[in-house]
């Protein structure tokens, strides 16, 4: 039946796909902080090059990344515009009421624009090249310290994995119920707000019921196979560091050094 | 009037890495008011084909003509509501579509959508509640209090209540007990005999042998054969090669033949098998 894309993962075979999910998640996370080390043209150039290399490394078409940035475009432009018109300092080109157009403003606006865009692009690289389940496993690993203060990290990660696992199932179920109701003459796509929200009941109620049934069945099936909580469970998907991960870490360390030296 | 598919192809998720052919150049013509079986192993495109009958899926290319409508890749969905009334679909495990607070309201949902007044819809609902073999006493119960088999019947009543000219059913008897299964299929056969077209998607070759006038065999999204049950069940080796089987009666006769008791012509149903056996032994004595 219909295959759907969970999250934004796009299958591929480039080297970056082989990087360990933990490494990718960690680098993405640290990149957000590292970008604040950039404060002049050379450092932003280095950060942009790093992002560009990562994007090229995915071997995917450019529009994938544009799709990642698109939802944020307004926010980025708005923030950049604030920087553009409200910063003072440097040469004043234009002054009207509270608005200033200054050389510092222009530079700051460009920097803010780059900072935002690069962060989004790097996280897009991570999400399109890493399977959602692997991200969930990596999160569990990153959250390990919380275990020591009594947070049930393993259970939470299991909940997340199960949720991800059932996204396609529920999607199929939704489609199926929607089709069944459409066949009975239900109309989900016309009428005003009230009519549309009423039309949703024949979809939501069966979906709710089948989700509960699926959940109960799953719980029974898990208990039947001896699941009693997570202490001492081994795992089926084992994340393991590979030599490629040195490349991932190495590239990031080089980025950090360059940012520090040039900044 | 007939049901015509002309070079119909359907592609799932076109222009993505998940692109997949659902139907591949399918052409056929079906007579109306017949009982048509649609067979093929899992993933052969039966369900995809079925959803084309009432345009839940529109062909990516090709053309469909049925019930006075023409469906092409560019037909607008909003022009299809009258088609949905004439051609209806019962999906696998249709009990998942129940949502109303009472059984009666759920069966009346379809008729109301297709423009029947509340009173008319209620009358139809009561009529079909009985037709599917349920007692009137459950009319005001919640559908979720019923047993699985009863829910199935309510769901099927909900689709038959607006009396579509063409009724497509995807494994309607899956998971029912033998008695329930027999009752359901007799209901569909009687519906067809009263001047409607019934299209049955099934894995059960006995149902095909017992009820169908015409058979479509699908494989890999393509129409493999379009013929009568007696033709399709003739060649056992061909059936097995395509992941299908023979009806129990034919299977039994084939084993008799292997052991030196050929019965010709090949029986498809248990009744035919009994007759052949009786004739054989009486004739032999």
**A31, two tokens:** 């990149």
Hey, are the CB atoms on B94 and A189 less than 8 Å from each other? no
Collect all residues of chain B within an 8 Å Cβ-Cβ radius of residue A187. 81, 113
Residues ≥6 apart with Cβ < 8 Å to B83: B54, B55, B67, B69, B71
Claim to verify: residue B85 and residue B165 sit in the same structural domain: yes
What would the pLDDT profile of A139-180 be if each residue is shown by its tens digit?
888 888 998 898 888 888 888 888 888 888 888 889 889 999
Q: Å from B113 to nearest chain A CA? A: 5
B278 and B237 in a single domain? The answer is no
Both B23 and B95 in a single domain? yes
Residues B30 and B137 in one domain: yes
Contact B17 A4 (CB under 8 A): no
What pLDDT, on a 0 to 100 scale, did the predictor assign at position A190?
Answer: 74
Spatial contact of B274 and B256, defined as CB atoms under 8 Å apart:
no
Does the pLDDT value for residue A185 go beyond 80? yes
* Cα(A204)–Cα(A201) distance, integer angstroms: 5
Residue range(s) defining the domain that contains residue B120: 2-246
State whether B41 and B170 are in the same domain.
Answer: yes
The Cα A170–Cα A218 span in angstroms is 14
Residues B141 and B262 in one domain: no
The pLDDT of residue B252: 87
Q: Are B254 and B280 found together in one domain?
A: yes
- Residue-wise pLDDT tens digits, B115-172: 899 999 999 999 999 999 999 999 999 999 999 889 999 999 999 999 999 999 999 9
B180: distance to nearest CA of chain A, Å? 22
Averaged over A61-65, what is the pLDDT?
A: 85
What is the least distance, in Å, from the CA of A233 to any CA of chain B?
34
- ipTM (interface predicted TM): 0.84
The pLDDT > 70 percentage for chain A reads 97
Residues B196 and B141 both lie in one domain: yes
The partner residue sitting opposite A180, judged by closest CB among B77, B94, B113, is B94
Q: Residue B228's pLDDT band (boundaries 50, 70, 90)?
A: very high
Q: Mean of the pLDDT values across residues A174-190?
A: 87
What's residue B285's pLDDT? 47
Question: How many domains does the structure of chain B reveal?
Answer: 2
Q: Which residue of B has its CA nearest to A213?
A: B96
pLDDT band at B67 (very low <50, low <70, confident <90, very high): confident
Q: What is the pLDDT of residue B215?
A: 94
Give residue B260's pLDDT: 83
Instruction: Produce one character per residue of A123-161: b if its CB has 16 or more CB atoms within 10 Å, e if not.
Output: bbbbbbbbbbbbbbbbbbeeeeeeeeeeeebbebbbebb
What is the spatial distance between Cα A201 and Cα B153, in angstroms, rounded to a whole number?
21
Does B260 lie in the same domain as B236?
A: no
- Interval B192-221 mean pLDDT: 92
Q: What is the pLDDT of residues B79-113, one digit of tens each?
A: 787 888 899 999 988 998 999 999 999 999 999 99
Helix (H, G, I), strand (E, B) or coil at B233: coil
Same domain as B71, residue B7: yes
Output DSSP code: residue B35.
E
**Predicted local confidence at residue B284, as pLDDT:** 57
pLDDT-derived band at A4 (thresholds 50, 70, 90) equals: very low
pLDDT beyond 70 at A105: yes
Same-domain status, B137 and B251: no
* Per-residue pLDDT at A7: 61
Q: Which of A2, A179, A187 sits opposite B56 (nearest CB)?
A: A179
Is the confidence at residue A3, as pLDDT, over 60?
Answer: no
| Inter-chain residue contact B99 with A183, CB threshold 8 Å | no
Q: Where are the domains of chain A?
A: 15-131+243-262, 153-224
d(CA A118, CA A46): 11
**Amino acid B264: pLDDT:** 76
B-contacting residues in A 1-60 (Cβ below 8 Å): 1-5, 10-11
Secondary structure (H, E, C), chain A: CCCCCCCCCCCCCCHHHHCCHHHHHHHHHHHHHHHHHCCCHHHHHHHHHHHHHHHHHHCCCHHHHHHHHHHHHHHHHHHHHHHHHHCCCCCEEEEECCEEEEHHHHHHHHHHHHHHHHHHHHHHHHHHHCCHHHHHHHHHHHCHHHHCCCCCHHHHHHHHHHHHHHHHHHHHHHHHHHHHHHHCCCCCCCCCHHHHHHHCHHHHHHHHHHHHHHHHHHHHHHHHCCCCCCCCCCCCCCCCCCCHHHHHHHHHHHHHHHHHHHC
pLDDT band at A198 (very low <50, low <70, confident <90, very high): confident
Nearest CA in chain A to B107: A184
Lowest mean pLDDT among A81-85, A92-96, B278-282: A92-96
Q: What pLDDT score does A231 carry?
A: 67
Dihedral pair phi/psi, residue A36, rounded to 5°: -75, -15
The CATH number for B94's domain is: 3.40.50.300
On whether both B206 and B254 belong to a single domain, the answer is no
Which of A59, A178, A183 would you mutate first to test chain B, the one with the most B CBs within 10 A? A183
pLDDT the model gives residue B254? 85
**pLDDT of res. A95:** 79
Give the model's pLDDT for residue B34.
94
């Amino acid at each position: 039946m219909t295959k759907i894309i969970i999250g934004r993962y796009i299958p591929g075979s480039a080297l970056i796909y082989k990087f360990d999910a933990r490494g990718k998640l960690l680098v993405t996370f640290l990149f957000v902080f590292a970008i604040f080390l950039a404060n002049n043209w050379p450092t932003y150039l280095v950060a942009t090059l790093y992002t560009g290399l990562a994007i090229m490394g995915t071997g995917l078409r450019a529009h994938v990344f544009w799709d990642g940035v698109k939802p944020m475009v307004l926010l980025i432009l708005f923030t950049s515009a604030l920087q553009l018109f409200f910063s003072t300092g440097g040469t004043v080109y234009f002054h009207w009421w509270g608005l200033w157009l200054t050389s510092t403003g222009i530079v700051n606006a460009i920097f803010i624009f780059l900072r935002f865009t690069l962060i989004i692009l790097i996280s897009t690289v991570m999400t399109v090249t890493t399977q959602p389940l692997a991200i969930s496993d990596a999160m569990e690993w990153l959250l390990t310290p919380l275990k020591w203060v009594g947070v049930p990290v393993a259970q939470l990660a299991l909940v997340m994995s199960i949720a991800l696992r059932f996204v396609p199932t529920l999607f199929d179920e939704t489609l199926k119920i929607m089709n069944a109701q459409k066949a009975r003459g239900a109309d989900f796509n016309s009428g005003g707000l009230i009519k549309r929200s009423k039309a949703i009941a024949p979809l939501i109620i069966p979906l709710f019921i089948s989700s509960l049934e699926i959940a109960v069945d799953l719980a029974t099936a898990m208990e039947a196979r001896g699941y009693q909580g997570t202490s001492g469970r081994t795992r089926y998907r084992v994340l393991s560091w590979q030599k490629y991960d040195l490349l991932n870490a190495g590239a990031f360390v080089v980025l950090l050094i360059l940012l520090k030296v040039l900044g | 009037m007939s049901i015509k598919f002309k070079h119909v192809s359907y592609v799932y998720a076109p222009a993505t890495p998940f692109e997949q052919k659902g139907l591949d150049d399918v052409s056929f013509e079906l007579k109306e008011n017949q009982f048509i079986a649609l067979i093929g192993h899992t993933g052969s495109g039966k369900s995809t084909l079925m959803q084309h009958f009432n345009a839940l899926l529109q062909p990516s290319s090709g053309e469909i003509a049925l019930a006075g409508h023409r469906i092409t890749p560019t037909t607008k969905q909003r022009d299809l509501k009258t088609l949905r009334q004439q051609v209806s679909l019962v999906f696998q495990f249709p009990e998942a579509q129940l949502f109303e607070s009472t059984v009666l309201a759920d069966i009346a949902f379809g008729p109301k959508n297709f423009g029947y007044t509340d009173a008319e819809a209620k009358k139809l609902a009561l009529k079909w509640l009985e037709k599917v073999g349920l007692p009137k006493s459950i009319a005001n119960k919640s559908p979720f209090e019923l047993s699985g088999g009863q829910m199935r019947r309510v769901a099927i009543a909900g689709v038959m209540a607006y009396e579509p000219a063409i009724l497509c059913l995807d494994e309607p008897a899956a998971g029912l007990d033998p008695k329930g299964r027999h009752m359901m299929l007799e209901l569909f056969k009687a519906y067809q005999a009263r001047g409607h077209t019934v299209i049955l998607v099934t894995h059960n070759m006995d149902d095909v042998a017992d009820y169908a006038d015409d058979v479509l065999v699908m494989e890999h999204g393509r129409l493999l054969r379009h013929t009568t049950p007696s033709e399709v069940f003739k060649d056992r080796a061909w059936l097995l090669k395509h992941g299908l089987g023979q009806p129990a009666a034919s299977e039994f006769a084939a084993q008799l033949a292997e052991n030196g008791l050929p019965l010709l012509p090949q029986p498809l149903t248990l009744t035919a098998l009994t007759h052949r056996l009786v004739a054989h032994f009486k004739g032999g004595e």
